[in-house]
Structure 1
Amino acid sequence: MGLDGAYAQPQRPHGAALFALLSVLFLLTLLLLLHPRPRAADAACEDGCRIVLVESIPEGLVLGAAPGPSTFEAWLGLLAKARHRVDIASFYWTLTNGDTRTRQPSAAQGERILAELLRLPGRGVAVRVAVSAPSPEAPLDDLRALERSGAAVRAVDLPRLTGGVLHTKFWLVDGVHLYIGSANMDWRALTQVKELGAAIYNCSCLAEDLGKIFEAYWALGVPGASIPAPWPDNYSTSINAETPLETTLNGTAAAVYFSSSPPALLAAGRTGDLEALLGVVDGAAAFVDVAVMSYVASTEFSRPERFWPAIDERLRRAVVERGVRLRLLAGCWPHSRAAMFPFLKSLAAVADNRTGYAVEVRLFLVPASAAQSRIPFARVSHTKYMVTDKAAYVGTSNWSGDYFERTAGSALVVAQPGAGAGTFRERLQDVFERDWSSQYSVDIGDSQSWGSRCGPR
């Protein structure tokens, strides 16, 4: 039909034709009321979401090409996209040299991020920050500057509520974009610490679901807050391990969900972080590759210290009962827990004495110059992820008991079984292979290479 036909004046219906037309209109109206059309934001999820693996590579660390942008580039891009609101869940804030009492040129990236955040309220963008209740010695300058700019900041007193901290690290932008990963709101997390995360774009379904976790933190950030039992229905979700979001990521089919910890903060339908992690291990048919800063089969901070074999036992079960190949790459720095190394050696010993079990354990050593070694709490692999032949798991928690029982954390689980060019799971696998085979990876049995650099002196 041409333009003339499309805009032709319609003829007035008569008699039976009018009755038929009114009947059809009534039925159409009833169907629309019973089955409302999705909003434009929801349609974006149906059309597919875009996911990008992002990393922080410490200055001086020479690795192969990164598969995606840096954490700094991803954060800067998210801030540029912000039009309405930015919500950030965070452990602490040290984005400037002033916060760490340093004079490092590499702090410029963190200072740029803070400057862009401070500009947002002036652009009409609402900013909310949920942060772990700071300790008396924690720097507060960044948070106070945010409040002065017009941002809303709430400190969540998890030490009182659960005996843990708010260790989560994620961003939500305009209800459609997000970041989740290991990077703290710290300039060192951009240039001096090895980090890994995921940025997801144009994905309102996932952003809305992660937003429910943020809203729980926000609700707990008011003075005298208590943890509801049960959580109200508006915090609940139907996106979980049993019924993940079936969508496409970068054009490839995927099943996706967010998990959370500790159990007290789980609303109805939310998969617990430990349950999600163990589920990914249990689902592996061929291999499990893990890169995590801290791996301890006990509690680290609660007293008395308790044996906590939940993850360790499940990994060993996968190796022994299903013949899964396990490789674990742990972080190494002077602040590593002394107990970590015997647990790692014990796990590696499963492959001793010609058992035929495929287990390897290594440490990742970030080199440091004399100047870099003086930067406090830097030069370490801080990543917290796992990749198997079936799924990718990107978390915010170290692997020991306190993080899953008392501390607020979250994780992204992406199931993408089988081969597919450029899937998120395969990109994560490529990163693990790059780091595992790099010059910075040393066997746990080679104590001469790491003994003087890892753990307390």
Structure 2
Amino acid sequence: MAGQATQESILKSQQKCIAIFALLCCFAVLLALMFSAVDVWVEEEDGITEENCNKNCRIVLVENIPEGFSFSSNATTHLPLTVALNGLLDLAKWSVEIVSSQWDLTSLEQQTDYFSANESSPDLFCAKDRTRDIDAIQRVILEAKKFIYVSVTNYLPLVWKTSNGQQLTRYWSIIDEALREALVLRRVRVYLLISLWKKTHPLTYNFVTSLKSLCLGLENCSLDVKFFSGPEENYRSNRKKREVNNNKYIVTDNSLYIGNLDWVGNEFTFNAGNGLVIKSAEGKLEGRPTILDQVKAAFERDWFSHDAKRLQDLILSGRTAGNPGLHPVKSEIRSKDRKVMRSMSL
């Protein structure tokens, strides 16, 4: 009797184990189905699949032209920024995700000191397998074969640091040296279009003059610099907020970089940002301009506009910040600039 009771007890225990195991399997299958359903729902919500992206995604250059700027009737124009933003909002079905370093819904000027408004080091924010902005810019400059167009709000290869209550300044050479190498060693033509506004540092003129001096006496070495500003009457007026060109991009004969970090040492050293690199694809479709072509056209439109002036012209008109140490190198103004730039784009 005792042996029979023991066998029945063992049999019941085995049945319980089987039942528990079956329940666990059912629970696991149920969880898998739930997560699978969630994934499918999210995929349908966002619509981000390789097939959908290949069919429906496109990239378009948009820009914002403020009041006071005017171009010729045949100048290149692109989709207005506000129209593009409203279009994206209209297309959204479930969610809108916005990443912005500054969000101002009023026209009041910010009182932040540009050169001291530092945030976090980009190295700490750079995720694994993601390229840093400065590395991307270096690669775009390195791979340029014919020309380099640069349009930035500020160009100042310096870093300010505070140590023991004292402000220390040092030369930040990464981009500056990359441009010098492209000019002198590879004979790539470089065009710098820098914004002229109330926060343009006087040392900017010295650095661009130093770059221009590299090509003195060197064949096939060409660097041209212009400063882009608003209308003359706005500059001389007492308006607190003046128009400024906020472009931050570099386009070459084969690549494009668009970012949100200004070309100032402190920006890349202390601030976090993001950017986009686009390279020209093989077998471009005839009759359909690429995004690189669109950005080139926008740069050349700004470059040849009456709002872009060379340093000598700005000094003569008194529109540069006072800098007694500034001795610019006089450069020849070529009448065939436009033809040269067009030929390099071919």
1:84 is aligned to 2:84: no
Which letter does structure 2 place at the counterpart of 1:424?
Answer: I
Greater shift, 296-305 or 74-83, is seen at 296-305
Q: Structure 1 80/47 Cα, relative in aligned 2: closer, same or farther at 3 Å?
A: closer
**Counterpart secondary structure, 2:305:** coil
User: CA–CA distance in 2 between the matches of 1:85 and 1:454?
Assistant: 46
Which letter does structure 2 place at the counterpart of 1:455?
Answer: A
Partner of 1:434: 301
Which letter does structure 2 place at the counterpart of 1:346?
Answer: S
1:363 is aligned to 2:227: yes
Q: Structure 1 376/90 Cα, relative in aligned 2: closer, same or farther at 3 Å?
A: farther
User: CA–CA distance in 1 between the matches of 2:301 and 2:160?
Assistant: 30
* Per-residue deviation, residues 284-326 of structure 1 (Å, max 9, x unmatched): 1111110001011112576411110100100110121112111
Per the normalisation by structure 2, the TM-score is: 0.70
Pick the aligned partner of 1:55 from 63, 72, 76: 63
Residues 312-331 of structure 1 aligned to structure 2 (within 5 Å)? 312-331=176-195
Per the normalisation by structure 1, the TM-score is: 0.54
User: CA–CA distance in 2 between the matches of 1:348 and 1:447?
Assistant: 16
1:72 is aligned to 2:82: yes
1:351 is aligned to 2:218: no
Pick the aligned partner of 2:118 from 164, 171, 183: 164
Residues 23-422 of structure 1 aligned to structure 2 (within 5 Å)? 40-42=47-49, 43-47=51-55, 49-64=57-72, 65-97=75-107, 99-100=108-109, 164-165=118-119, 262-299=122-159, 303-367=167-231, 369=233, 373-416=237-280, 421-422=288-289
* Per-residue deviation, residues 120-172 of structure 1 (Å, max 9, x unmatched): xxxxxxxxxxxxxxx9x77xxxxxxxxxxxxxxxxxxxx9xxx8237xxxxxx
User: CA–CA distance in 1 between the matches of 2:206 and 2:126?
Assistant: 33
Q: Structure 1 449/409 Cα, relative in aligned 2: closer, same or farther at 3 Å?
A: farther
Which letter does structure 1 place at the counterpart of 2:289?
Answer: G
User: CA–CA distance in 1 between the matches of 2:197 and 2:234?
Assistant: 15
User: CA–CA distance in 2 between the matches of 1:344 and 1:296?
Assistant: 9
Q: Structure 1 83/374 Cα, relative in aligned 2: closer, same or farther at 3 Å?
A: farther
Which letter does structure 2 place at the counterpart of 1:422?
Answer: P
User: CA–CA distance in 2 between the matches of 1:83 and 1:414?
Assistant: 28
* Per-residue deviation, residues 229-285 of structure 1 (Å, max 9, x unmatched): xxxxxxxxxxxxxxxxxxxxxxxxxxxxxxxx7111011101000000101111111
Which letter does structure 1 place at the counterpart of 2:66?
Answer: P
**Counterpart secondary structure, 2:79:** coil
Which letter does structure 1 place at the counterpart of 2:98?
Answer: I
Structure richer in strand, relative to its length? 1
Gaps of 5+ in 2: 1-35, 324-346
Which letter does structure 1 place at the counterpart of 2:104?
Answer: T
Which letter does structure 2 place at the counterpart of 1:443?
Answer: R
User: CA–CA distance in 1 between the matches of 2:290 and 2:247?
Assistant: 20
Where relative contact order (Cα < 8 A, 6+ residues apart) is larger, the structure is: 2
8 Å CA contact 1:278, 1:311 repeated in 2: yes
Gaps of 5+ in 1: 1-32, 101-134, 139-158, 167-260
Displacement, 1:375?
A: 4.1
Which letter does structure 2 place at the counterpart of 1:430?
Answer: A
Q: Structure 1 293/84 Cα, relative in aligned 2: closer, same or farther at 3 Å?
A: same
Q: Structure 1 369/445 Cα, relative in aligned 2: closer, same or farther at 3 Å?
A: closer
Higher gyration radius (CA): 2
Partner of 1:453: 319
8 Å CA contact 1:274, 1:404 repeated in 2: yes
Q: Structure 1 273/352 Cα, relative in aligned 2: closer, same or farther at 3 Å?
A: same
Structure richer in helix, relative to its length? 2
User: CA–CA distance in 1 between the matches of 2:88 and 2:68?
Assistant: 26
* Per-residue deviation, residues 20-67 of structure 1 (Å, max 9, x unmatched): xxxxxxxxxxxxx9xx99975212223362111111112121124443
Which letter does structure 1 place at the counterpart of 2:127?
Answer: A
* Per-residue deviation, residues 402-447 of structure 1 (Å, max 9, x unmatched): 1111101111111015665310001000111111111122122434
8 Å CA contact 1:335, 1:456 repeated in 2: no
Q: Structure 1 311/90 Cα, relative in aligned 2: closer, same or farther at 3 Å?
A: same
8 Å CA contact 2:227, 2:308 repeated in 1: yes
Size of the aligned set, in residue pairs, is 269
8 Å CA contact 1:287, 1:325 repeated in 2: yes
**Counterpart secondary structure, 2:61:** strand
Which letter does structure 1 place at the counterpart of 2:60?
Answer: V
8 Å CA contact 2:314, 2:320 repeated in 1: no
Displacement, 1:90?
A: 2.2
Q: Structure 1 88/41 Cα, relative in aligned 2: closer, same or farther at 3 Å?
A: closer
User: CA–CA distance in 2 between the matches of 1:386 and 1:272?
Assistant: 15
RMSD: 2.9
* Per-residue deviation, residues 375-413 of structure 1 (Å, max 9, x unmatched): 434312111011001111111011121111110111111
User: CA–CA distance in 2 between the matches of 1:368 and 1:58?
Assistant: 15
8 Å CA contact 1:56, 1:70 repeated in 2: yes
